[in-house]
Amino acid sequence: MLLNKTKLLITIITLLVVSSNVSAQDQMAQFSDKIDFNILNEIIKMSDDTVYVSNTNKNHLSEDGLFYFYDKNGNKAIEMGYEVAYPFTGKSAIVKNKGSWGLINRLGEFIYQSQFPFPIKLSSYEKYGIFGDGEIFDNGGVIYDLKSGTQQSGFINCAEPVTPDYFIIKTKAGKYKLIYRKEEKSIFKTEMDSIVPQEFMMYDERPNLLILKNKDKYGLSLSNGQEILKIKHEKIQFLGKYIMLLENKVWKYYLFENNKLKLIVSSEFQCTSPTYQSNAIGVYSKDKKYNILKINGENLSQEFDYINIDGTLGILNNSLWILSSKANFYIFYKK
């Protein structure tokens, strides 16, 4: 009987997760014929926000349906319109003109325009723009540093990481140990119900924070064994660089600095993903609406139907919005 209840609970949780992912995909799918979300997401995180780009201005669609660049007053910063355009990332911006992708400078002049209709791609490390013939080889294609607007001869491929000094193992009893590789010994005397590291790789020169769970209580420790919080708290979670501590139905968000916890803000909202903005904590949802919690405890003045996990994009009323580095927002693409 207990086994059947457990299976039912797992099934319900799985369906909720799948339903949530499908809902997000449905929200984004309505724009996928026009926008490459992977590129846009990375470009927004590199953008300096000095001008914005949209196919609408002051909530009115452009007459020709093209994307234009505007200054903070809503005046055109560049006269030419584009089939698709992404924000500036320094000296260049990616645009689509006459079916082909290219780069323009801040005067609207083309730095490069491909002769092929194939989509532009980004390198994984430097986020260089790569124009090719439809296939990207190890260092192939026409490559541009988007920030400087200069052509490059190649890009860096991700290397294999160095072996970490600490690693987590699961015992036969279903418990967990943290092992120090150099001495092949367990850091903690007690085996834990779970050990969650803040960063995936743990090294001697950079002690990693760990969330320890034992007997349904949570604590915080460094990977070298130094105790930060005793295992007595009701809930602790990592959110990017932040540590979330639940106390009396209130979430407290901390940073770990100078070997101690520094409280940033307390809130009723439980963030589910960290944002890229320096003045924000993370994305949260309430009553099927999405918002961003800022480090001062405030949130966005506008709720959204959906916000992506990086806090770069929001969807509201069939329009795609850009959430800027200062946690402001504007319509990027209106259908």
Q: To which H or E segment does residue 143 belong? A: strand 142-145
Radius of gyration, CA atoms only, the chain: 24
**Per-residue confidence of the chain (335 residues) as pLDDT tens digits?**
444 444 444 444 343 433 444 456 667 788 888 899 999 999 999 998 789 999 998 878 898 999 999 998 999 999 999 999 999 999 999 999 999 999 999 999 999 999 888 889 999 889 999 997 655 545 568 999 999 999 998 888 765 567 899 999 999 999 999 999 999 999 999 999 999 999 988 998 887 999 999 999 999 999 999 999 999 999 999 999 999 999 999 999 999 999 999 999 999 999 999 999 999 999 999 999 999 999 999 999 999 999 999 999 999 988 999 999 999 999 999 98
Residue 255 to residue 242: CA distance in whole angstroms: 5
Q: Which 8-state DSSP code applies to residue 120?
A: P
What DSSP string runs through 206-267? BPPEEEEEETTEEEEEETTS-EEEEEEESEEEEETTEEEEEETTEEEEEEEETTEEEEEEEE
- Tokens matching residue 248: 């009396």
Through-space distance between the first and last CA atoms of the chain, rounded to whole angstroms: 52
**Hey, which residues does 246 pair with through a beta bridge?**
235, 251
C-beta neighbour count of 290 within 10 angstroms: 21
DSSP H or E stretch at residue 37: helix 37-46
pTM: 0.85
Please give the Cα distance from 70 to 93 (Å, whole number).
13
Question: Rounded distance, CA 252 to CA 244, Å?
Answer: 6
